[in-house]
Amino acid sequence: MRTLITNIKELIQVRETPIAKVSGTEMALLPKIENAYLLIEDNLIAEFGKMENLPEISVDKTIDATGKVVLPTWCDSHTHIVYAGNRVQEFVDRINGLSYEEIANRGGGILNSAKKLNETSEEEIYNQSKLRLEEVMQQGTGAVEIKSGYGLTVEGELKMLRVIKKLKENYPVAIKATFLGAHAFPTEFKENHSGYIDVIINEMLPKIAEENLADYIDAFLETGYFSIEETERIMEAGKKYGLTAKIHVNQFTAINGIEACVKHNALSVDHLEIVTDEDIEILKNSQTIPVALPSCSYFISIPYTPARKMLNAGLPLALASDFNPGTTPSGNMNFVIATACIKMKMTPEEVINAATINGAYAMGISETHGSITKGKRANLIITKPITSYYQLPYAFGTNLIDEVIIEGKVI
């Protein structure tokens, strides 16, 4: 099957030579071709170039993109899309003055979602979660990482990971599964942290490996959650099963957690609302990519990741949604990029790099996703007619997406 997209006003994020990620000042550059065509063969990008160089070819379908921008679909490297129910009451409690921490201390927060998840059948969780996946696909997401972490029991964690596996099987979007058993301590292990970590290492991980249910391992390294030493135990155990770490860290406090993650070759460190100069130094010269989650900062009113400071220091940065019931009940990457421009003072070029090629890197899929490169997956957003790609973050709240193509097919 050959599909030809013609008369593209701007074909953006064009990388003739494949790259893994972009860092520092490179993030300000977003290569593009004006008045372009792009040829899709089956599920791959086969050719692209200027309209004037379009060769004579026979195709099965032509899409006229006059006035429209074409770019790679969003690569959302950090979500918790699989969950049961919602946490609307906590939303109202926060409006009335309670903080995220106060709600968690009352047994709300992650433990609230864990209770709901353990009471809900696998089929029902799948049915609720697939609606969120379908929604973000329509919003232009073509690759997504999904975490467990609302089970916190052997059965609960396996149930979540099996739902992620089923989503992988049934949807064309690229999905990476991350095991986040170390998301919070269940109440019965509140005073016995090592006991719960033993359950993670000796009971959960072997079963997950046996069923091949996870690609990565995560922990919530934070004051009041998992300490550096506890997170190190988790990362080391994961490594034994071939699971590279992607760690929640520096969301509320900076406790030198980033150093431990870099030491253990984490693929990404995520959140980073609070970042010290030492953290930035440590991230330099590492292969670990920082991931910012601006919708979370927006929703629970916490600081935004200091993107400018990090980019000025030469670091790469990825942007992801953090879609979850507690701190970010939205997976809309269009809102993520707009918020990063508006609140983090990133430029349109930087946010698009952060949400495509760098997001792909943060999921370990930049060889196949995240740019317009021959041989990569034909995962594309075709916008409505717009003046330029600047309009995407500018017109926040307006749906400017006309069509989404995943694996070569309009969805």
Question: Where is the binding site for Fe(3+), in residues?
Answer: 78, 80, 248, 322
Nearer to ligand NIG, 251 or 371 (CB): 251
Q: Decide: 72 and 15 in contact? Cβ < 8 Å.
A: no
Report the b/e string of 148-158 with b at 16+ CB within 10 A. bbbbbbeebbb
Q: How far is the CB of 82 from Zn ion (least distance, A)?
A: 12
DSSP 8-state assignment for residue 366 = T
Q: Does residue 178 belong to the site contacting ligand NIG (CB under 6 A)?
A: no
Query: Distance of CA 214 to CAs 157, 162, 163, 238, Å?
Result: 11, 10, 12, 10
Look up residue 230 and give its amino acid.
Answer: E
Q: How far is the CB of 111 from Zn ion (least distance, A)?
A: 15
Task: Name the token pair of 12.
Answer: 């953006």
Q: Does residue 376 belong to the site contacting ligand NIG (CB under 6 A)?
A: no
Q: Does residue 321 belong to the site contacting ligand NIG (CB under 6 A)?
A: no
DSSP 8-state assignment for residue 64 = E
Q: Decide: 197 and 233 in contact? Cβ < 8 Å.
A: yes
Return the one option of ligand NIG, Zn ion, none that residue 37 interacts with (CB less than 5 to 8 A, by type). none
Q: Does residue 296 belong to the site contacting ligand NIG (CB under 6 A)?
A: yes
Return the one option of Zn ion, ligand NIG, none that residue 299 interacts with (CB less than 5 to 8 A, by type). none
Of the candidates 45, 72, 74, 109, which one interacts with ligand NIG according to CB under 6 A?
Answer: 109
Query: Distance of CA 261 to CAs 163, 257, 266, 286, Å?
Result: 28, 6, 5, 10
Among 96, 136, 185, 99, CA closest to 324: 136
Among 183, 187, 45, CA closest to 105: 187
Which residues are within 8 A (CB) of 83 and not within 5 positions of it... i.e. 6 or more apart?
Answer: 113, 116, 117, 125, 128, 129, 150, 324, 325
Q: Decide: 110 and 141 in contact? Cβ < 8 Å.
A: no
* Sites for Zn ion among residues 308-327 (CB under 5 A): 322
DSSP calls for 395-406:
TTTS--EEEEEE
Nearer to ligand NIG, 129 or 324 (CB): 324
With residues binned 3-state (H G I as helix, E B as strand, rest as coil), the percentages for the chain, rounded to 5, are: 40, 25, 40
* Sites for ligand NIG among residues 230-269 (CB under 6 A): 248, 251
Nearer to ligand NIG, 74 or 220 (CB): 220
Nearer to Zn ion, 140 or 149 (CB): 149
Query: For ligand NIG, what does the binding mask look like between residues 30 and 69, x meaning CB under 6 A?
Result: ----------------------------------------
In degrees and rounded to multiples of 5, residue 264 shows phi and psi of: -95, 20
Nearer to ligand NIG, 89 or 212 (CB): 89
Q: How far is the CB of 290 from ligand NIG (least distance, A)?
A: 14
Cα–Cα distance measured from residue 168 to residue 185, given in angstroms and rounded to the nearest whole number: 28
Coil, helix or strand for 139?
Answer: coil
Of the candidates 48, 220, 335, 361, which one interacts with ligand NIG according to CB under 6 A?
Answer: 220
Query: For ligand NIG, what does the binding mask look like between residues 327 and 346, x meaning CB under 6 A?
Result: x-------------------
Q: Does residue 324 belong to the site contacting ligand NIG (CB under 6 A)?
A: yes
DSSP 8-state assignment for residue 18 = -
Q: Does residue 113 belong to the site contacting ligand NIG (CB under 6 A)?
A: yes
Nearer to ligand NIG, 31 or 303 (CB): 303
- The residue sitting closest to ligand NIG, measured at its beta carbon, is 326
Q: Does residue 406 belong to the site contacting ligand NIG (CB under 6 A)?
A: no
Binding site for Zn ion (CB under 5 A): 322
Which residues of this protein are in contact with ligand NIG, per CB under 6 A?
109-110, 113, 220, 248, 251, 296, 322, 324-327
